[in-house]
A and B are shown apart, each in its own frame.
Chain A
Amino acid sequence: MQRIITLTVQNSSGVLNRVTGMLSKRGFNIESITVGSTDQEGISKMTIVVEMTDDKSAEQLTKQLHKQIDVLKVNDITDSKIVARELALIKVGASNTNRGEIQSIIEPFRARVLDVARNSLIIEVTGKTDKVNALIELLEPYGIKDLSRTGVTAFRRGQQKNVQDIKTLSV
């Protein structure tokens, strides 16, 4: 079971080390982690995706994160209505003959071509992890030369109704 946890942290030099160190010390497996600044000076936002076995360890994880002095806020947003996105850059093999074909594959994913070379394309795609995975799978037959993913960053939606009904909701 994957859990998505967002943290608001003081932007001190050791905070990332403290958070990831705690996760590895307590045996949590990080799927992805993103960090970036916010509109407030000195405050950063982190989104961590963690793979875990039960709810008990999810609770333990949020408690341990909360204990860190530089962590201001912890939200386990897995069961909320959220928007979750990640970005991937994919360099895929392409030639004159199949460039159009690739273009038609990526179009429904609202992905974009950022760079065209004689025998490759660089494609940018943004979306939920599932969507990114699906596109990568479709592009695999053309030969993926390079792949870089940012990991998930996520928010709670403005409206939070019927949380039990829908686990995640994303356009």
Chain B
Amino acid sequence: MKVEVERAEEVVTNIKTGADLLVDALAEQEIDTLFGYPGGAVLPIYDALYRNELSFKHILCRHEQGLIHAAEGYARVSGKTGVVIATSGPGATNLITGITDAMMDSLPVVIFTGQVATKVIGTDAFQEADVIGLTTPITKHNYQVTDVKDLKRIVKEAFHIASTGRPGPVVVDIPKNISEAKVEMDYPDDFYLKGYQPTTTPNPLQINRLMDALELAERPVVLTGAGVQFAKATGELKKFVEKYDLPVVSTLLGLGAFDANHKNFLGMAGMHGTYTANMAIHEADLLINIGARFDDRLTGKISDFAPHAKIAHIDIDPAEIGKNVETQIPVVADAKEALTLMNESSAKTSFADSWHALVQANKKEYPLWYDNSKALLSPQKFIEDIYLATKGQAIVTTDVGQHQMWSAQFYKFKDPNHFVTSGGLGTMGFGLPAAIGAQLAFPEKTVVAIVGDGGFQMTMQELATLKQYNLPVKVVILNNEALGMVRQWQEEFYDERYSESLMQTNPDFVKLGESFGIKSYRFTNEGEVSEELESALTSDEPILIDARVEKLDLVSPMVPAGKGNHEMIGVKKCKE
């Protein structure tokens, strides 16, 4: 009897399971944060997380959508790969929105999903879902582990694929019998991906063509996208812009790649961009796109986009070049490598002072504007107040909609990786969980989640996560009791037929925050703001602010859908 007990102990200490291999593999990737939610098919993995001494922390969100957005926020600000684990079936399907979001915005995330045991796959087993089938169109790559021997190699490949080239999400589906499988040795994890060798070094001939075009250009403009930030090329970009004294416009996701307070910065371009930025693109004879993908919110009507310009496009993804806009100078490269080479060039530009004079005059005459004469708070002014109170140094996350556009317009981002927003997919409910991820990546920084009252209610359960880990995220709800952007379009294009866009029954957000144990404020007019905003935003605990903003305010200016960027409405000339 005694002998048997001893043997049992020996077995426990020596034999590992597939789940232990997974934990080892995660430690080898030097991850520091794992966003996870347990469930049936991942029980062996959660047991391994319990048994092993972990070199990383596990963050339990309150919904799988929270996990994936938190991992996206973490990846966006840190440049490191976000890691998620969820169970099979509903756990996996709840991740779908976030995986798609990460795919659209090129965020490096590795997602582990549990799966039913291999022998019951295909039998509609309890909590079975075809994760591979579901995630194939929304991932950079995906794997189902069918042999525990492959597990560590697949994990290594997944991190490599997610974080290199154009980053993106990779799903690893792990059946329960694989994570339960007993293993007695480490299996080799070397890999070579013959079909995946991203180009990062530019073709010098194309760089020469680009610099030749710059020498000849009379009205050049630089367009910066998220690619500059992924490539950590903001220093090189600044050098390039200053060396040749070029005007700069940005995409939504490019904000922060170039200091918004710099004299050469003309603002965001596109649907809710500045008049100056859009007119610069419209008038330009050379447009140098660095790491942006010519998204339709930027271009407006394609046939009217940059009609006089020769297009140069630097992108690490060759499929983006020429996809939407015909390109004369294609440069497949990492933005940093391309800019480094461009900075070494001795091109002599000769464009006229009149070009600078024109864009600077536009910048002065047609600034962004708002009306803060109403009784309730002006949302734009409130964002400016947040900007001032945080000295422009906060990480700002948003959902999608009016508050997102106002944040992009009025929070002047000067540093890279400080704006975390759902750009391509436009996901409501993104801001709060993304802020959780961002705060975990940078515990010392001020992180402000600016959200609308609609989007907040899609993921507000994550207030519990804030409280549990005492993350000092500042949740600012720009509460206009409406789905503001939907309402704006209904006002402008559907004759004010506000179909289901008015949120007449909102919870009391202050009481709601307090019920989670989070200190909560309500601001309804400017007098209250000046007193308390700064102390709220500099507090070292989580804070919720219900900001009652003007209900019928519009995001201006605007390029109506289907129009060219030069056909903006809502542009106001500044009175001297």
Contacts and interface: CB of A to CB of B under 8 A. Distances in A.
Contacts, number: 42
B133 A63 contact: no
A67 B317 contact: yes
A22 B142 CA distance: 14
Interface string B98-142: 000000000000000000000000000000000011001100111
B322 A69 contact: no
Contacts of B142: 14
A60 B161 CA distance: 22
A91 B196 CA distance: 45
B195 A68 contact: yes
Given A14-B136, A22-B137, A67 B193 contact: no
Interface residues of B, number: 19
B3 to A, nearest CB: 46
Interface in A12-35: 13-14, 17-18, 21-22, 25
Contacts of B319: 60, 63-64, 66-67
B38 interface: no
Contact of A25 (B133, B137, B323): B137
A59 to B, nearest CB: 7
Nearest to B165: A67
Contacts of B194: 10, 72
A25 B196 CA distance: 21
B144 interface: yes
A25 B318 CA distance: 18
Nearest to B141: A69
Interface string A91-106: 0000000000000000
A56 interface: yes
A76 interface: no
A64 B321 CA distance: 11
B16 to A, nearest CB: 26
A22 B138 CA distance: 10
A71 interface: yes
A68 B139 CA distance: 10
B571 to A, nearest CB: 33
A70 interface: yes
A70 B195 contact: yes
A63 B318 contact: yes
A21 B136 contact: yes
A10 B195 contact: yes
A60 B195 contact: no
Given A59-B322, A64-B319, A69 B136 contact: no
Nearest to B198: A67
Nearest to A61: B319
Contacts of A56: 322, 326
Given A60-B323, A69-B141, 13 more contacts: A10-B194, A14-B144, A17-B133, A56-B322, A56-B326, A59-B322, A60-B322, A63-B318, A64-B319, A67-B319, A69-B140, A69-B161, A71-B195
Interface of A: 9-10, 13-14, 17-18, 21-22, 25, 56, 59-60, 63-64, 66-72
| Nearest 10 interchain pairs by C-beta | A63-B319, A72-B195, A69-B141, A69-B196, A21-B137, A21-B136, A25-B137, A64-B319, A18-B136, A63-B318
